[in-house]
Amino acid sequence: MNLPLIGQVPSDVVAAWVFSILGGILLFLWVTKKQKWPIVFGYMRTTHHRKIGTMYILFAIVFFFRAGMDALFIRTQLSMPNNDFWVFQGDKYNEVFTTHGTIMIFFVAMPLLIGLMNVAVPLQIGANDLAFPYLNAVSFWLFLSGGIIFNMSFFFNAAPNAGWTAYAPLATDTYSPGPNINYYIFGLQVSGLGTIFTAINMIVTIVRLKAPGLKLTRMPLFSWSTLVTSFLILIAFPVLAIALLLLTFDRFYGTSFFGGEMGSPVYWQHLFWIFGHPEVYILVLPAFGIFSDVISTFSRQRVYGYTSMVIALALIGLLGFMVWAHHMFTVGLGPLANSVFALTTMLIAIPTGIKVFNWLFTMRGGVVRIKTPMLFALGFIPTFVMGGVTGVMLAVAAADYQYHDSYFVVAHFHYTMVGGTILGAFAGIYYWYPKMTGKVLDETLGRWHFWLFIIGFHLTFLPQHFAGLNGMPRRVYTYTWEDGLFVFNFISTIGAFLMGVSMLFVIWNLYKTHRFSKKAEGDPWDGRTLEWSVDSPAPEHPFTPMPQVTTMDSFWYSKVGKAKLGNAEDPRPSPIAVESYQPVTLAGIMIALSVAFVYNWIWLQVIFGITVFIFFILRSLTDERKAVYRGEAKK
Ligand code: HEM
Ligand SMILES: [Cu+2]
């Protein structure tokens, strides 16, 4: 499209600008008309875990629609051989699968899970908030500014296009000059920093703020999975940060870590996957935790094999660091390395299998009630097992020479990431929605959502296994009639649109629930763990007085009358929730600083760099807690 004053701009970018501006105006008018600005400002200042968790989930869903549109464009382009849908050929196609993959992983799956941790973990362990509420707000705003930086790229017609893995040498300045990859680097760098802070926050909260008597050996499994995941984040994300930093140096300052005589593109692959493989466990362990809690609640049964569940979580986490080279079987590391990594990879199937059997045994002994969260759990088990089986197939190093970079791999990782993480996040949202908003989502619409989504999912991704085995490579924008891939791709596209339709039921459900349903009670599911002992939505200081825990699933046993949930002396002061615009301000500065780097505007880098520094100094000199302490001292 040729625009006056601006010049040539692709028509999809113009369409995005038009829709975003119109949408923005409508949103602005709606918020003004409904007089919701005080609520918006309240959320901008908040440091409260429930509100921050809600915002994580809200923006994750926004990004889910954004990356889902990418997926639908990809699937439309691939629906027929030799197709020419809109602009999505050649380099545009590269942009679309890159933004789809990157956004889904970093700005959908991660914030969905971190949001649920924020909402549920403090409540499950009897804490009044996370250990560092201010830091928590900083984490959230860093995540959002990373997401904004990454998404800006598309609006300025410079979307990253080297895949979510950004392999060198393609991602170096030699082969990708221009700002595209810089957006990738700074989007991930800024949001990754927030993720690391969250991990620290979760670990300290779980270690320090559990209610009296809630020993680690009695802790609900979602909190356990959060603890293990946080350690994985703490080890894996700094590796990503360093890899991105080295790539920054290669692109801006003439170093050659990933090219040249001394460097090697394989170093990038090692660094990326030393982060990247643990990352997929970071995405799936919390989902395991959610399913464990959901299955035991809706089976009215203590989770089967609690100890083995915890050991399996820890083992998967540990083994997750020893398998990264299974992404590099075809690079030429040699038969010995390939065999070792093949074996460690296959070992992971053992603790995973233990968990699957434990879930099945939990249901076997129990009285199963099929509510929406439980439906998602029931859909998850067979789906995830299929992803696990293809995973073991891919782990056979010799066979991987055939599977590598084919649609078989695309099918495999969607079975694990959608079948595990996304189904888990949906289950968690339906399950804990009362704790976030004080309402229970509508059951009928929830069922529609589940059935359309799961049918659409298998229609989309099951045929991709066969497309891959029949020779369809991933990351290609077309194929011919002679390739014999039409039917697989056509079914796959229909499935993708079915999933898209299922998401409309989520929107309908949100609308219907908030318009028509009554306030939920504290314990709508007949729950087992402490979060169900407090009101819905969770109040600001839910655990005053502090409960005294004597068993696992103590709330359940207090209901059936076996062990009363007494009160305890609060062993330590609760974290003080402060209200502050500082975190959101910092996020704004980080966006400006990142843009200065993306376009290599040195003077702006200096100016915003100094601004960040001044911000740190100001922050070090303020202490909002002083006022609170003074108030307490007066009392
Ligand atoms: C919900 C519906 C989804 C559909 C229909 C879908 C579809 C697709 C398609 C068609 C591709 C491109 C394959 C290629 O050309 O190589 C792709 C790639 C990818 N998807 Fe999805 N996807 C979905 C959800 C997700 C989710 C939830 C995640 C992660 C949590 C995810 C992660 C990825 C990744 C990492 C890639 C690889 C990108 C790359 O090659 O760099 N997808 N997806
Ligand atoms: Cu892996």
Pocket test of ligand 1: the residue of 410, 454, 488, 502 to mutate, having most ligand atoms within 8 Å of its CB, is: 410
Per-residue tokens: 375: 């439906």
Ligand nearest to the CA of 70: 1
From 201, 175, 237, 178, select the one nearest 53 (Cα to Cα): 201
If you take atom 39 of ligand 1, which residue's CA is the nearest one?
Answer: 163
From 366, 465, 373, select the one nearest 426 (Cα to Cα): 373
From 328, 391, 342, select the one nearest 165 (Cα to Cα): 328
If you take atom 6 of ligand 1, which residue's CA is the nearest one?
Answer: 71
475 lines ligand 1 (CB under 6 A): yes
Q: How far is the centre of ligand 2, averaged over its atoms, from the C-alpha of 315 (Å)?
A: 15
If you take atom 1 of ligand 1, which residue's CA is the nearest one?
Answer: 68
What is the C-alpha separation between 120 and 287, in angstroms, rounded?
A: 13
Supply the pLDDT for residue 633: 67
Pocket test of ligand 1: the residue of 70, 72, 92, 97 to mutate, having most ligand atoms within 8 Å of its CB, is: 97
From 206, 199, 163, select the one nearest 317 (Cα to Cα): 199
Supply the pLDDT for residue 453: 97
Asked whether 423 and 287 are in contact (CB, 8 A), the reply is yes
Q: How far is the centre of ligand 1, averaged over its atoms, from the C-alpha of 97 (Å)?
A: 7
Q: How far is the centre of ligand 1, averaged over its atoms, from the C-alpha of 251 (Å)?
A: 27
Asked whether 464 and 418 are in contact (CB, 8 A), the reply is no
What is the C-alpha separation between 44 and 582, in angstroms, rounded?
A: 9
If you take atom 43 of ligand 1, which residue's CA is the nearest one?
Answer: 71
Asked whether 245 and 272 are in contact (CB, 8 A), the reply is no
Contacts of 158 (CB under 8 A, 6+ apart): 178, 179, 180, 183
Supply the pLDDT for residue 635: 63
From 417, 441, 419, select the one nearest 430 (Cα to Cα): 441
Q: CA angle, corner 203, sides to 206 and 106, nearest 5?
A: 125
75 lines ligand 1 (CB under 6 A): yes
Supply the pLDDT for residue 236: 96
Asked whether 378 and 454 are in contact (CB, 8 A), the reply is no
Asked whether 180 and 158 are in contact (CB, 8 A), the reply is yes
As a whole number of Å, the CA-based R_g of the chain is: 25
Q: Please count the other Cβ atoms lying within 10 Å of the Cβ belonging to residue 412.
A: 24
What is the C-alpha separation between 267 and 258, in angstroms, rounded?
A: 6
Residue 568 pairs in a beta bridge with 546
Q: Please count the other Cβ atoms lying within 10 Å of the Cβ belonging to residue 441.
A: 23
> Ligand 2 is a single-atom ion; what residues have CB below 5 A from it?
277
Per-residue tokens: 357: 């059997």
Supply the pLDDT for residue 78: 95
Per-residue tokens: 538: 């969770």
What is the C-alpha separation between 129 and 218, in angstroms, rounded?
A: 20
What is the C-alpha separation between 164 and 185, in angstroms, rounded?
A: 11
If you take atom 34 of ligand 1, which residue's CA is the nearest one?
Answer: 101
If you take atom 14 of ligand 1, which residue's CA is the nearest one?
Answer: 475
Asked whether 199 and 233 are in contact (CB, 8 A), the reply is yes
Nearest atom in ligand 1 to the alpha carbon of residue 163 is 41
If you take atom 36 of ligand 1, which residue's CA is the nearest one?
Answer: 101
221 lines ligand 1 (CB under 6 A): no
Supply the pLDDT for residue 495: 97
What is the C-alpha separation between 141 and 562, in angstroms, rounded?
A: 44
Q: Please report, for residues 139, 230, 478, the alpha-carbon distance to residue 42 in angstroms, rounded to integers and kept in the order given.
A: 17, 28, 49
Q: CA angle, corner 279, sides to 120 and 529, nearest 5?
A: 20
pLDDT tens for each residue of 575-614: 877 888 999 999 999 999 999 999 999 999 999 999 999 9
Asked whether 455 and 420 are in contact (CB, 8 A), the reply is no
| Residues of the chain below pLDDT 50 | none
Nearest atom in ligand 1 to the alpha carbon of residue 495 is 5
Q: Please count the other Cβ atoms lying within 10 Å of the Cβ belonging to residue 265.
A: 16
113 lines ligand 1 (CB under 6 A): no
From 582, 604, 586, 603, select the one nearest 595 (Cα to Cα): 604
Pocket test of ligand 1: the residue of 104, 184, 422 to mutate, having most ligand atoms within 8 Å of its CB, is: 104
